[in-house]
Structures are given as structure tokens and as C-alpha cells.
């Protein structure tokens, strides 16, 4: 079945339940997301009921399911073996969930997707065990698959971990330069958005030029998404992000806008606030206000728009005109215009 891969060939095609309302042409996806979720829930089952509850927490809360959607779209550039797509999509989404668990522990986040985080509910040690369990379950899903798939996912996992470590090393670093900051975003966030784009095309035996184009698309899309998330975290529109506004700022993880504001005025009010040993709620609010007033948010939005443009216009140029390419371009636009 050329150019039309989906998870459930035995089921009637239906619109996916992706909360990407501003993404036109999403109907080209024939994805049974219920089957995807069930695959993940089955994969994480263990003999320990508590571990099961913790492992299921993020899966049952839903999410954008962006990565599985990208995998399916990328697979439509060729002809894919549908039996491979579901486990790969489920494994990548489990890796993403595992990274969120570990991220919340390191950031001491109290909420995730609008509800208490795993570490807030059960403590850091239990949440870390749950995250590691999700990682192991993802790798178990991948074990029967072709070695090149397993290798690609393992390499991506290592890159994400390295990015997380580099971000931690730069915590409270007021002098973090833009190049290093963007490299951290690329490693920590864009890697797991680039991965399904590349693997979907490879599993569909797409032309190598198209594989490279989709890989580049995913990298720029991931950077655009993260820059937009960081800006939303500073504009009081974090409800849809599932965490309180200013969480990262309090933990010394400075968004692009904060770093841009510091570069604009390295000895100004913002630097004075952030040098305090412990930020109170009023300090966080003032730091956010100073960042907004500096004009740095516009700098971040412009950079996010540039990466979205690199994804939509330049990376996809070699792909033939099709509903798939239209959907990918629309998603790139949505990445920087969304409010959650």
C-alpha cells in the first residue's frame, strides 16, 4: 500500500484524537491512537502494581502524540511495513514519557500536564524508577526490530541524556551563550522529534534525499517547539503546557528570552534578581516582568519563526507536493502560533 501507512489496517480509518486543532490536513493520518495507547500500556506492565500505576500515569493523561504522528506522516513518503510502525511509534512515545519523568525530578516540578507530577505524588526515587522502567520497556519493544532501528533509537536516547546533563551543568549560568543554549535544545528536545521523522522515512524505504529532508525538518521543528514553549512559560499562558509559569526560571534553567534579556543588559535588574540565593514568588514574577519589558520575547519568537521556516520551506523543498507535505508545513506554522 504505497504512501498510506497506518497502525490498524483491520479498522475503519478515522480522524486521530490529536489536540492539534490548528493543524490543517491532519486527516491524511489514519492512525488508531487507541491502539497506540494500548500498546504502550501493555508494554509497561510489570509484577509490581505500584510501578504499573506510576508507569501508566503519563500515558493515560494523553498528550499531543506528536512523535507517533510524525512517524506516520514520514512513512507516507514511501511504502512501509505497517507491522513495524506501531512498536516504533510506541517505543518513541515511551522514551518521551521517560524523559519527562526524569526532567520533572531534575527540575523538581510539581505538576505535569495539569496534574501532580510523578515525583510530587510518589517522591523522586519512585519517579526515577518509573522513568527508567519506561525506558527499559521502550527498548524491549524495539528488540525484535531491525538492528538499524534499535541503533538509531539508542543513539537518540544517549543524545537526550547528554543534553539533559549539559542543561544541568549550566543551571544558574547567567552567561550561557546562545550557541550552547540552542545546542542543548537540539539535543534534549529536538532529538526525539527528529527521530520519528527520520525513522518513518527509513522504514518506508524513502529516497535518501527525502530521509535527510525529513530529518532536517524534525530538528528545526523541535527547536521551534521548544523556543515557543519557553516563551509561553514566561507569558502566563502555561495552562496548556501542564506546569506553572516560571518553574524553570526558579530552578536556574533559563529560557532563550531570559538569556537574551541578560545579554541586552548584563548588569541590569534581571541579573541582580537572578543572583539571589533563593527566588521567592515575587522575585520570579519580577524577573518575568523585566524579561517581557526588555523586548527579549520578540527575539525568541523571531528565532522560533526562523526555525519553523527552515523546517517548512527549506527542509521540505525536495519532497513532492502532497497532503503529507502540506500537513508537515502546517505543523511547522502551528509550532510557533499555538498558545499551549
Q: What ranges do the domains of the chain cover? A: 31-337
Give the pLDDT of residue 33: 63
pLDDT at 106: 73
Instruction: Please give the pLDDT value at position 243.
Output: 56
pLDDT means per 10 residues, the chain with 340 residues, are 38 37 46 77 92 85 83 90 89 90 74 71 83 92 92 94 93 96 97 96 94 96 94 69 68 94 94 92 94 95 96 89 88 85
In terms of Cα–Cα distance, which of 185, 257, 253, 242 is closest to 219? 185
pTM exceeding the 0.85 threshold for the entire prediction = yes
State which fold the 31-337 domain adopts: Farnesyl Diphosphate Synthase (1.10.600)
3-class secondary-structure state, position 252? coil
Q: Identify the helix (H) or strand (E) that includes residue 116.
A: strand 115-116
Quick one: CA dihedral 234, 271, 307, 186, positive or negative? negative
Q: What is the pLDDT of residue 306?
A: 97
C-alpha cell at 83: 507491522
Q: Which residues fall within 8 angstroms of residue 301, CB to CB, at 6 or more apart?
A: 227, 228, 231, 336
Contact 100, 52 (CB under 8 A): no
Amino acid at each position: 500500500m504505497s504512501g498510506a501507512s497506518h497502525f490498524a489496517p483491520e479498522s475503519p480509518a478515522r480522524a486521530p484524537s490529536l489536540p492539534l486543532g490548528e493543524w490543517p490536513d491532519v486527516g491524511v493520518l489514519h492512525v488508531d491512537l487507541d491502539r497506540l495507547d494500548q500498546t504502550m500500556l501493555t508494554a509497561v506492565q510489570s509484577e509490581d502494581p505500584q510501578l504499573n500505576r506510576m508507569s501508566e500515569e503519563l500515558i493515560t493523561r494523553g498528550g499531543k502524540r506528536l512523535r507517533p504522528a510524525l512517524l506516520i506522516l514520514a512513512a507516507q513518503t514511501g511504502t512501509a511495513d505497517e507491522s513495524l510502525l506501531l512498536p516504533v511509534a510506541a517505543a518513541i512515545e515511551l522514551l518521551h514519557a521517560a524523559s519527562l519523568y526524569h526532567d520533572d525530578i531534575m527540575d523538581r516540578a510539581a505538576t505535569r500536564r495539569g496534574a501532580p507530577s510523578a515525583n510530587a505524588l510518589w517522591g523522586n526515587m519512585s519517579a526515577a524508577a518509573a522513568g527508567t522502567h519506561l525506558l527499559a520497556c521502550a527498548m524491549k519493544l524495539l528488540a525484535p526490530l531491525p538492528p538499524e532501528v534499535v541503533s538509531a533509537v539508542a543513539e537518540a536516547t544517549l543524545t537526550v541524556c547528554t543534553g539533559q546533563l549539559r542543561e544541568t551543568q549550566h543551571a544558574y549560568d547567567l552567561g550561557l551563550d546562545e550557541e550552547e543554549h540552542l545546542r542543548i535544545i537540539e539535543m534534549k528536545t529536538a532529538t526525539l522529534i527528529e527521530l520519528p521523522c527520520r525513522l518513518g522515512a527509513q522504514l518506508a524505504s524513502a529516497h535518501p534525499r527525502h530521509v535527510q529532508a525529513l530529518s532536517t525538518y524534525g530538528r528545526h521543528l523541535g527547536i521551534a517547539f521548544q523556543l515557543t514553549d519557553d516563551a509561553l512559560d514566561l507569558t502566563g499562558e502555561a495552562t496548556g503546557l501542564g506546569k506553572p509559569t516560571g518553574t524553570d526560571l526558579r530552578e536556574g534553567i533559563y529560557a532563550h528570552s531570559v538569556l537574551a534579556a541578560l545579554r541586552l543588559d548584563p548588569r541590569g535588574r534581571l541579573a541582580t534578581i537572578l543572583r539571589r540565593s533563593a527566588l521567592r514568588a515575587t522575585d520570579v514574577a519580577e524577573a518575568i516582568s523585566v524579561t517581557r519589558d526588555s523586548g527579549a520575547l520578540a527575539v525568541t519568537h523571531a528565532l522560533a519563526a526562523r526555525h519553523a521556516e527552515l523546517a517548512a520551506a527549506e527542509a521540505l523543498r525536495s519532497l513532492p507536493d502532497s497532503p503529507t507535505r502540506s500537513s508537515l508545513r502546517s505543523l511547522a506554522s502551528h509550532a510557533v502560533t499555538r498558545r499551549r
